A = this chain, B = another copy of it.
Amino acid sequence: MNEFELIARYFTRPARRAVLGVGDDCALIAPVAGMQLAISTDMLLEGRHFLPGADPEALGHKTLAVNLSDCAAVGALPRYALLAGALPEADPQWLEAFARGFFALADRHDVEVIGGDTTRGPRTFCVTIIGEVPVGRALLRSGAQPEDVVWISGEVGAARVGLAVMREEPGITPPATLREHALQAMHRPQPRVELGLALRGIASAAIDISDGLIGDLGHILERSHVGAEISMMQIPASDWLKSRATDPKTAAWAREFVMAGGDDYELCFTAPPALEARVLEAGRHAGVAVTPVGQITAAAGLVVRDDNGDILDLASIRAFDHFAESAAA
């Protein structure tokens, strides 16, 4: 089977919304009046973003999920995706499972795959996602104002626990039910697309937590020229992880998991205090918990208070090295 047959078999679907889909030099799309397009690209590499031997169906899901999450963070409705991939060999079974995971999520969000590129090489995927957002309604990192409440969707740290379970990191032994939940969080993150849409006109700023809460909230603060004070104990995480974060014997890694654990793809966003009820309603509408964790301050810098109300030394939390790992602009 040559490459064109592979693409045709697993990744080509008839164009629906697009004017022209896979199969020409470019795809063609017709913009919708009154809409801006939100566009992002992410590259995933084996050994860095996923482990060799990763389940291909889960990987197909995650490859698209991390991109949908970028649309969610700006309140855009994802519409089109392009998928470029390198594969070490043309394994139809592997490709079929990857495509199943990818398209199951694409179909759930009514996202159309309009282009691609396939190459032999170290297993690598690069997705470009294109979403629609009404003019002037995108959620940006730059809109946070002093007094705004800082919110987080779902819970954080779970994907990092999943990674610890996968790697069998010593001393990190969550209960069986949490293990399963954490592995799911790591392998099958749920992009908060509905929440992003529901937060249009409510959130003043938003970002997805791909690289860890401290770093990603830091981007909001930097772009908004503000600071924030948040409470570690208010950060939504599993009871097990929270209890480890207050136990001096385990606090070092547990606090890192909560505050700098990446790969959760929850939303961190800000909203004026007067809009609390609307934020909670947006969360209910989207079917995901939303938790206030602190507030934006006029003074620059991020202050995190621990369970005793003391200010945490964030420098002691392992900084996520964004070149050593990865980051989307």
Contacts and interface: CB of A to CB of B under 8 A. Distances in A.
Contacts of A233: none
A24 B121 contact: no
A223 B73 contact: no
Name the residue in A1, A206, A328 with the highest tally of chain B Cβ atoms < 10 Å from its Cβ.
Answer: A328
A223 B24 contact: yes
Given A43-B126, A82-B128, A116 B25 contact: no
Contact of A38 (B27, B120, B126, B131): B27
Contacts of A35: 31
A129 to B, nearest CB: 8
Contacts of A23: 141, 223, 329
A48 B121 contact: yes
Nearest to A322: B3
A124 B20 contact: no
A182 B76 CA distance: 46
Interface string A43-82: 1010111000000000000000000011101101000101
B37 A28 contact: yes
A36 B25 contact: no
A70 B22 CA distance: 13
Given A26-B39, A26-B71, A20 B140 contact: yes
A324 interface: yes
B138 A22 contact: no
Given A126-B84, A322-B3, A327-B4, A131 B45 contact: no
Nearest to A208: B25
A130 interface: yes
Interface in A83-101: 83-86, 90
Nearest to A142: B24
Contacts of A27: 38-40
Q: Which 9 A-B pairs have the closest CB atoms?
A: A31-B31, A3-B323, A126-B126, A25-B73, A26-B38, A119-B326, A3-B322, A43-B84, A128-B128
Given A7-B329, A20-B140, A40-B82, 13 more contacts: A4-B322, A22-B329, A24-B223, A25-B70, A25-B141, A39-B82, A39-B114, A47-B121, A48-B121, A116-B328, A116-B329, A122-B122, A126-B126
Interface of A: 1-4, 6-7, 11-12, 19-20, 22-31, 33, 35-43, 45, 47-49, 69-71, 73-74, 76, 80, 82-86, 90, 114-122, 124, 126, 128-131, 133, 135, 138, 140-142, 206-208, 223, 321-329
